[in-house]
Structure 1
Amino acid sequence: MQATTTATPAAPVRSVSYRYDLDGLRGIAIAFVVVFHVFVGKVSGGVDVFLLLSGYFFLGSQLRYAQRDNPSRNPWWPFWRTLRRLYPALLVVLGTTAVVAFLWVPQMRRLEIIDQFTASLLYYQNWELASQNADYNVASGSVSPLQHLWSMAVQGQFYVLAIAVAMVVIWTGRSRWVTPFLIAVTLASFAYACWLWWENQPLNYYSTWTRMWQLTLGALLALHAHRLTLHPWVRQAFTVIGLAMVLSTGFLFDGAWYFPGAAALYPIGGAVLVILGGGAGPVAGVLAHRAMRWLGDIAYPLYLWHWPILILALILLGMDDVPLWLGLAVIAGSLVLADLTHRIVEKPLRQHARRPIRGERRGAAARAQLLTSGAARARAAAGTVLAAVLVGLLTVQGIWQVRLHNAGGVLLDAELYPGARALTGADVPDRTPEPDPDLITWILSPIWTEECISRFGDDPTVLPVDVRGQDCIFGDREATRDVYLVGGSHAEQWVIPLDVLGREHGFRVVPLVRQSCPTFATERDGLFEPDCETFNEHVLERLAEADPELVISTTSRPRFEHGGRTEEIPASYPTFWRFLAEHDIPFAGLRDNPWSTFPDGTELSVPVCMLDIDDPVVCGIVADEFYQPRDPAARYLNRMPHAKAIDTRDWYCVDDLCPAVIGNIYVYRDAHHLSAPYVLSLAPQLWEEIEEFL
């Protein structure tokens, strides 16, 4: 005999009149997101309002169903209903974006974008962007067309929580705990968002845990706002003031810098006032107007469409900024596509039947309907097509990973792909250059793949070699002579030929490298982070203790932080060279390879250029635009004992041009890092320069 339980809700969710004015508010919030993305380049606060309203509508509906007399105990049905609401439009937009990117936008065929397709489909895009250290950027040809889907991921994750809360109410028959639970989550999430704003705003912007308060606050309003009794003129004033706050947010704040911390109380507070207004007054009437409700109906597909249309248009038209005509065209096109998506995709595939009651055999009824209803068969066919799109998009990442694995080796047939040997007279047969520029960015040195580099956010007091041990020792691990490789990512790339040379000539290679952190004893440029200074203190201690046979690093770089394009010697670098001289430690300083940049100093990816233009000359770098007439490090190092300045200019350049391809090998894996196969082909030149030390 099955036991029965009696519901004892402290605050049951009663049926309330549908708030059409909030549909209008949702539409206006998303419209402002679109306008600010296109024309202003700021975050308007519309997404924050959208999240609040999502919490209001979704959890309210879940709990109203949970407190019916006979709700279904099967958690599948609310998930299925939600999937049918969210996925059809998302799959149409992502599928279209993928096709356009694959056929006409080679810049988008990058592994981080492929990963974002999967993250968007599985609703963890916010965490994917955070893991990629992707700031929320204004529209440009270098920004991901899926960047905006972080908020859909947060919303989807909240929906899972909301369904779980409702199912617990159904299973236990008790809802007394729901309000205290939501209050606790709201307060904790808001406090965390305020704290993280000081500590790590990029993560704060994307984090589910710092955004949760906006959704749970909306849920609390759904539970209790209708219980508040206010004078009609107070309600009307709330609506006017609240709408003014929502509309003015983008003019007062840039949400990318301030939300969801304390500043987000301004747009959220405005939306709360509109909700408390209860739909009273002429302003609420305007929000509930049919035109506003239409905007609310298409808000979801409008949000999905506008950003990829904008980004892909900028890339295809070769524009950096959005002129008025293009912005208007993007908005108009987004509205048309959103309306069509809503009418043709969303509405037909949405679940229109009432939610099942306990014991109802909804699955059997649906199967029977397929035999008698043409509309049911049409929906099933459309769902099958969309399921195929989902499987196809999820498969792309796996295919890309297989391709990357197959192309991951740095060894190429030296007769067919001589690389740098072509600069010294080797024959270059007619072959398609390798590796595939689609993949080359992600063919990394073992320092990256073996986690032997200290990355952004890592503890700067920890040297990876101390954690990873022998996995971070290269060359001949049994040798007694040590070569230390120090510096940033432009130094770490040299571990590839040094690994081969170490095994051939009997020395170990020990990397002490950190991302974007050249080695120095004293920071004199104001360019490098405090964590870099801390890391370098530990590197210098280790070098003084180890007394290696040789230290290798790079000696020059452009001051790209200030738009510089020409190599120079940062004032911090010689402080390290003097430290080595004081400790009688030999040093080989490699002149840096060219950096490919636009005239303003921003990076220009060489593989992307080759995908787009396929011209090694046009995609190359004019030598005089990067190099000084002479190696600037020579005047420092040639006066020091046991030090040598290695001029590498002729390793990358022929006459006045540093081409994108040398000896059938792509020289660069991005704008300024050497490709793994090409730097390996430089092993003979490198050994010729360092042999005297070893």
Structure 2
Amino acid sequence: MEAQVQEKYRYDLDGLRGIAIAFVVIFHVFVGRVSGGVDVFLLLSGYFFLGSQLRYAARRDATLNPWWPVWRMIRRLFPVLVTVVMVCAVLVVFFFSDLRRVDLARQLIASVLYYQNWELAIQETGYQAASWGISPLQHLWSMSVQGQFYLLGILFALGCGWSLRLQRRRLQKKRGKEGGPERATSSIRAVAIPVLSIVTIVSFGYAAWLHPHDQQLNYYSTWSRMWELSLGALLALIGPKISINHVVRSIFTIIGLAMVITTGFLFDGAAVFPGPATLYPLGGAVLVILGSGPASIFLASRSMRWLGDIAYTLYLWHWPLLILSLALFRVDLAPLWLGISVIAVSVLLADLSHRFIEKPLRQKAPRPRRGEGRVRQAWWETRTLLPARRRAAGGVLVGLMMSACIIAPPLWINQIRNINANYLDPQEYPGARVLRGAEAPDIPPEPDPYLLPDSLSMFWNENCMSGLAQDPTELPADDDGGIPSGHCVFGDPEASLTVYLTGGSHADQWGAALDILGKQNNFRVIPFVRQSCPSFVHDNEGAFSEECAEFNKTVRDRIIQDQPDVVISNSTRPMYELGEKRDSVPEGYVEFWDFLKSQDIPFVGLRDNPWFFWPDGKDKFPSICAVEEKDTSVCGMASADFYDKTDPARSKLLARDMVPVDTRPWFCPDGWCGPEIGNIWVYRDSNHISDDYSRSMAPLLWEKLKPVIDQARKVQHKRHHG
């Protein structure tokens, strides 16, 4: 029976796999688009892997212990993957500090545990063309999809095997003898084909539906991609049964190969795959699978088979090498010489990895038979045979590297989170205090500028910042017992005078200073802030989301209900969403001030800090720029490039008896907005100030805030005591 279910190995499909990945590499390096090769690779993975699993499950002597196929899969996929991830992590830590980010730390774990596709989806990271700021592990989303499918495929094949075994037992009881081989062969197909057909149709329908709704999720989703792999598995079961004229089969192969090769020229895969457009490259792959003839002979040639053999390792190596090379030379597109070098080194590493890592550690023994004592045999070989010992040592090394990839990122993330918990010594790091005469010793600035971009503000770390994905009608301050329990209450929690901080992340960044002032001056600070959502009544410029407008309405209702003693927020911002990069006052801000005036609530408006951009419009991180360029003149900006001499909010606020705070001198003393003041890096990224610099501005802010707090305290006293 086994001989009847065993199909002839298709070496030409190894060649197709090699060509598919070769075009992935070429398009990544030189074109900056998705070629469709990964989609073909996934289809062939389904064809080879699940087809093999189902044929094995049909054997009478098959063991249905799930450990064996999982162990075989681990030995096939893990060693090179873990090696590439580990090498990438070491290079980033020691040589590419600007890539050392929290999202990459999380991706290290996600890559070796095969959920990188979902991690990228959670991080809302679209699949982007290669440039030196992109994650060097971005490409491993497809390996995660493949690994998840393999696990599901193993369970599915074992289920089919159990179903077949039960059928045989029923036949034995009924006839008193074993069922015929053909009946058993038909049974495995009879069970698998309907299920795989349903999975393919449903998954394809889901991908087609999700494409116009959320293409970013569609690109990464296992459920959107499932049809590519299940279609390959269907072809493994159905293809050999299809009879086609030899001449037609030859034409099929030529047309199919042409479709696979031309996909990248006709489609931007990141924008349309795995939706209906994916039928073009996969349709081409199907034609090659159904075809034969001279083109198939070419695909099965030694050179093409070699390319197929290294396809997996080539795919793993090429992307991190490309991204790190672009980072090294600070370019977004690889010049011809660099692109050729990346491909050459990738091919070399792929071949070496295949020869000395992948092949030696791969499971070479035949699949175990039912009742076979494979573990005892392996233990005996490890104790007595040198090759087995070498494989065991290699496995231990892979396990240690995998452990490092899982253990190190949380330590890395914790280091970043501790930035704001470890206050800098004000004697050595006076920050804004130098603007009032403090001396700054000659020492390097802090904190680590490469960790700053991933650091979060005090309020955000305490889960008191509303994120983009959170319900805009719910305020984080009401979670976990709410304000009465002390949640999201900063400054002096026991104080009777209450200050509300409202707005977006540019208001939130003042929380570190306000927390100190509240503790020192007996008032409490409660944040009602949301990511990318300044305080306004109407979005007159059409620059913000509907969720932001809803959040602002929720905050206004809360202000009416609670009647805080003082409200603080930003009074200006550049409307970069509309292409304007200079400080201005959005009309919606003024409407918010009118709302507060109608409630007779004092307001303090903080002028925004500078936002930094490179000439091409990309974000400039002044702190990192200063470290790398060794020339702060290219990392800061003249005050006049962002600010007008007069605060544009001043007259509007004074007309409403409100308090304008012109922060321009705090960021741009002597007309220059530099990355460092008083040994503290001012900015955590291109437009948010660091908590350390925020804390250093507390004395300056108190000079402006004290009269408002004193007046609010008098009003409160009069209200309570008549």
Give TM-score, length-normalised by structure 2: 0.89
Code of the aligned partner of 2:311: A
Distance 1:496 1:55 in 2: 53
Shifted more, 54-63 versus 386-395: the winner is 386-395
- Pick aligned residue for 1:345 from 329, 333, 357: 357
- Pick aligned residue for 2:641 from 625, 642, 660: 625
Shift of 1:242: 2.5
The alignment status of 1:208 with 2:222, answered yes or no, reads: yes
- Pick aligned residue for 1:641 from 656, 666, 669: 656
What does 1:489-568 align with in structure 2 at a 5 Å threshold?
A: 489-561=505-577, 564-568=580-584
Distance 1:527 1:253 in 2: 31
What does 1:659-674 align with in structure 2 at a 5 Å threshold?
A: 659-674=674-689
The alignment status of 1:398 with 2:410, answered yes or no, reads: yes
Code of the aligned partner of 1:602: K
Distance 2:159 2:242 in 1: 27
Percent identity between the two aligned chains: 53
After superposition, the CA RMSD in angstroms is 2.5
Show structure 1 runs of 5+ residues with no match: 1-6
Matched residues, number? 682
Distance 2:195 2:523 in 1: 61
Code of the aligned partner of 1:236: S
Code of the aligned partner of 1:202: Q
Distance 1:611 1:124 in 2: 34
Code of the aligned partner of 2:14: D
Distance 1:525 1:118 in 2: 42
Aligned 8 A contact 1:563 1:600 in 2: no
Residues 13/606 of structure 1: CA separation in 2 closer, same or farther (3 Å cut): farther
Aligned 8 A contact 1:106 1:612 in 2: no
What does 1:75-86 align with in structure 2 at a 5 Å threshold?
A: 75-86=66-77
Aligned to 1:71: 62
Distance 1:616 1:418 in 2: 19
Distance 1:629 1:89 in 2: 59
Distance 1:661 1:15 in 2: 69
What does 1:108-123 align with in structure 2 at a 5 Å threshold?
A: 108-123=99-114
Shifted more, 495-504 versus 589-598: the winner is 495-504
Code of the aligned partner of 2:63: S
- Pick aligned residue for 1:330 from 330, 334, 342: 342
Residues 572/242 of structure 1: CA separation in 2 closer, same or farther (3 Å cut): farther
The alignment status of 1:689 with 2:704, answered yes or no, reads: yes
What does 1:237-636 align with in structure 2 at a 5 Å threshold?
A: 237-277=251-291, 280-404=292-416, 406-468=418-480, 469-470=482-483, 471-561=487-577, 564-610=580-626, 612-613=628-629, 619-636=635-652
Shift of 1:494: 1.5
Shifted more, 159-168 versus 302-311: the winner is 159-168
Aligned to 2:115: 124
Distance 1:40 1:442 in 2: 30
The alignment status of 1:185 with 2:184, answered yes or no, reads: no
- Pick aligned residue for 1:654 from 653, 669, 673: 669
Aligned 8 A contact 2:637 2:674 in 1: yes
Code of the aligned partner of 1:265: L
Shift of 1:410: 4.9
Name the SS for the 1:553 alignment partner.
strand
Shift of 1:330: 1.5
Q: Deviations over 1:54-89 (max 9, x none)?
A: 111111111111111112233222111111111121
Code of the aligned partner of 2:262: S
Code of the aligned partner of 1:508: R
Shifted more, 173-182 versus 532-541: the winner is 173-182
Code of the aligned partner of 1:503: K
Name the SS for the 2:502 alignment partner.
strand
Aligned to 2:720: none
Distance 1:403 1:539 in 2: 34
Shifted more, 138-147 versus 415-424: the winner is 415-424
Distance 1:262 1:460 in 2: 35
Distance 2:192 2:4 in 1: 11
Name the SS for the 2:473 alignment partner.
coil
Q: Deviations over 1:508-551 (max 9, x none)?
A: 32322221122222223232223222322333333344433222
Code of the aligned partner of 1:303: Y
- Pick aligned residue for 2:160 from 169, 192, 204: 169
Aligned 8 A contact 1:493 1:674 in 2: yes
Code of the aligned partner of 2:287: L
Name the SS for the 1:485 alignment partner.
strand
Distance 1:561 1:326 in 2: 35
Code of the aligned partner of 2:475: L
Name the SS for the 2:424 alignment partner.
coil
Show structure 2 runs of 5+ residues with no match: 167-187, 710-722
Code of the aligned partner of 1:551: V
Give TM-score, length-normalised by structure 1: 0.92
Shift of 1:171: 4.2
Shifted more, 446-455 versus 488-497: the winner is 446-455
Residues 245/91 of structure 1: CA separation in 2 closer, same or farther (3 Å cut): same
The alignment status of 1:218 with 2:232, answered yes or no, reads: yes
Distance 2:388 2:427 in 1: 62
What does 1:23-34 align with in structure 2 at a 5 Å threshold?
A: 23-34=14-25
Shift of 1:371: 4.5
Aligned 8 A contact 1:584 1:642 in 2: no
Aligned to 1:107: 98
Name the SS for the 1:655 alignment partner.
helix
Aligned 8 A contact 2:445 2:681 in 1: yes
Shift of 1:107: 1.0
